[in-house]
Amino acid sequence: MKPKVFIARPVPKEIEDYIAEYCEVETWSSTETIPRSELLKAVQSVEGLLITGGRIDEELLEHAPHLKIVSNISVGYNNFDLEAMKRRGVIGTHTPYVLDDSVADLVLGLMLSCARRIPELDQYVKQGQWQRGDDEVLFGLDVHHATLGIIGMGRIGEAIAKRARFGFDMDVIYTNRSRKFEAEQALGVRYQPMEDLLKQSDFIVLMTPLTPETTRLIGKEQFSLMKDSAIFINVSRGQNVDEQALIEALASGQIRAAGLDVFENEPVAADSPLLKMPQVVTLPHIGSATAKTRMDMARVAAENLVKGVKGETPPYIVKELS
Ligand code: NAP
């Protein structure tokens, strides 16, 4: 008999077909996020779960006595209650590497958008405000040869550093839990303690995972150390930043601009002050959202799932559970 699995979000047909070769599959096929109550019902008899972002906690595990593996279609796994999963011997997997380049491209896009005010000036043209001789109101900041500070020099951090160093001749500094000597050698990046990085950087990119240690890692104190010309980019997780402190730093001119792919609550509230600020570029959590990368992520997640329910070792078990 094939093991039962539940696919909690729509995936491409060929991915579902691949899983169905090995498993009995049930799928949540609506584009609406599955309600928690439906998810708790759906996991009752399954050995595997394919999901993006739903909380995998004591309550869900209690409802899923046969569960062997939760396969996340994302690299971040802050939705996992790691202790609860460890206690119950449930494997958790994710999809690293295949999205690094797409996410890094988006970070550069946000840096350029903020520095050269691309979305703001797009509106300026479309709203008929373009007059001859008003050059200075259109001025932005250079990205090339500026100093980039990366907080969290992991897989994606390194892909950003590579683009910044070799594409834009930027001076790249970083801070991280551990020193990255190989990246320092290969990419010519320099380690700096957080405080120094915040003071020196023209662009600050936050790229850590969301963990208890990184929650609100950037707040009032950190913004107060940044240059008043600093551009802050967050493509990691919204909860890594004290969003109210960010709003205040932008409103008071303590920093110049921000590029945000992620928010404390998603979707961001329609009345958030961030949406009214022309110097803020906002995106709907699309770091990895290209057709090819999302397909690659779904494929890796499906392979993790199938290996897990077959009792084999999946390639990308999250490090805390391996
Ligand atoms: P990664 O390779 O694990 O890199 C994370 C880096 O952060 C590691 O170098 C890690 O240091 C460092 N770090 C962890 N905790 C830290 C702390 N307390 N202080 C300083 N540094 C710390 O992960 P990744 O693949 O680059 O992805 C990073 C995160 O980006 C994901 O977890 C996810 O939340 C987010 N993301 C968002 C999107 C999007 O669509 N917006 C897409 C992909 C990823 P060590 O090496 O010492 O562990």
pLDDT tens track for 208-248 = 999 999 999 999 999 999 999 999 999 999 999 999 999 99
Q: Are residues 134 and 90 in the same domain?
A: no
- Mean pLDDT for all residues in the chain: 97
Q: Which atom of ligand 1 is nearest to the CA of 210?
A: 34
- Ligand 1 pocket check for 96: Cβ under 6 Å: yes
Place 131 in a pLDDT band, splitting at 50, 70 and 90: confident
- Ligand 1 pocket check for 39: Cβ under 6 Å: no
Q: Give the DSSP H or E segment for 280.
A: strand 280-282
Place 126 in a pLDDT band, splitting at 50, 70 and 90: very high
Asked whether the whole model's pTM tops 0.85, one would answer yes
Q: Are residues 274 and 142 in the same domain?
A: yes
The preferred substitution site among 93, 105, 176, 235 for testing ligand 1, maximizing ligand atoms within 8 Å of CB, is 176
Residues 6+ apart with CB under 8 A from 55: 36, 79, 81
Place 70 in a pLDDT band, splitting at 50, 70 and 90: very high
CATH of residue 222: 3.40.50.720
Q: For the chain, how many structural domains are there in total?
A: 2
Closest protein CA for atom 29 of ligand 1: 209
Question: What is the per-residue pLDDT across 31-40, written as a single tens digit (0 to 9) for each?
Answer: 999 999 999 9
Q: DSSP alpha helices (H): ranges in the chain?
A: 13-22, 36-42, 58-63, 82-88, 100-115, 118-126, 155-168, 181-187, 194-200, 220-225, 243-251, 291-309
- Ligand 1 pocket check for 259: Cβ under 6 Å: no
How far is it, in rounded angstroms, from Cα 69 to Cα 233?
34
243 and 216 in contact (C-beta within 8 Å)?
no
CA dist 48 → 5, 91, 305 (Å): 4, 10, 6
Q: Are residues 80 and 225 in the same domain?
A: no
Q: Are residues 191 and 202 in the same domain?
A: yes
Is residue 237 part of the annotated active site? The answer reads: yes
Name beta bridge partners: 149: 173, 204
pLDDT of residue 120: 97
Q: Are residues 65 and 119 in the same domain?
A: no
* Domain housing 248: 100-282
Q: Which amino acid belongs to residue 237? A: R
Q: Are residues 129 and 197 in the same domain?
A: yes
Question: What is the per-residue pLDDT across 261-286, written as a single tens digit (0 to 9) for each?
Answer: 999 999 999 999 999 999 999 999 99
Residues 6+ apart with CB under 8 A from 268: 274, 275, 282
Place 312 in a pLDDT band, splitting at 50, 70 and 90: very high
Give the tokens for residue 306: 């199938």
- Ligand 1 pocket check for 213: Cβ under 6 Å: yes
Percent of all residues in the chain with a pLDDT value above 90, rounded to a whole number: 97
3-state secondary structure of 209: coil
Please check the confidence at residue 134 and state whether its pLDDT lies above 90.
no
pLDDT of residue 135: 86
Q: Are residues 248 and 295 in the same domain?
A: no
Q: Are residues 21 and 139 in the same domain?
A: no
Q: How far is the CA of 206 from the centre of ligand 1 (A)?
A: 9
How far is it, in rounded angstroms, from Cα 232 to Cα 226?
9
